[in-house]
Amino acid sequence: MRLTSEGASGYSFFVLVDGEARVTADGVELGTLGPGDFFGETAILGGGRRSATVTTTTLSTLLFMFGTEFRQLQQAQPEIAAQLEAAMARHLSPQ
């Protein structure tokens, strides 16, 4: 099941609780996500557009929060927000 589409507006942040997902951009596979991995921070913290397509490859369980809830998390838990911002920078840096 496709969870996000590259280039689409992004209003939610996801945490993969169980299962696996594939990450692609420009038709190239960038990696695989597993339990504990998260995605969507780039669209929420950055320009508002999805930088990659994420598709589940197995039956999966996800947690998600919309942008407003994510902003509340940033205010209540700034150390978590800093970690997510660092992850976004890693995701956006050239490999």
pLDDT in the model for residue 46 = 74
E strand or H helix that includes residue 75: helix 67-76
Q: Please write the tens of the pLDDT for every residue from 53-86.
A: 999 999 999 998 888 888 888 889 888 878 877 8
Tally of domains within the chain: 1
Mean of the per-residue pLDDT values of the chain: 88
Residue 91 has pLDDT above 80, yes or no: no
CATH number at residue 45: 2.60.120.10
Residue 89 has pLDDT above 80, yes or no: no
| Strand 21-25 relative to strand 12-18, pairing | unpaired
Tell me the residue range of the domain where 50 lies.
Answer: 2-92
Residue 38 has pLDDT above 70, yes or no: yes
Dist CA 83 CA 80 (whole Å): 5
Q: For residues 92 and 34, which has the higher predicted lDDT (pLDDT)? A: 34
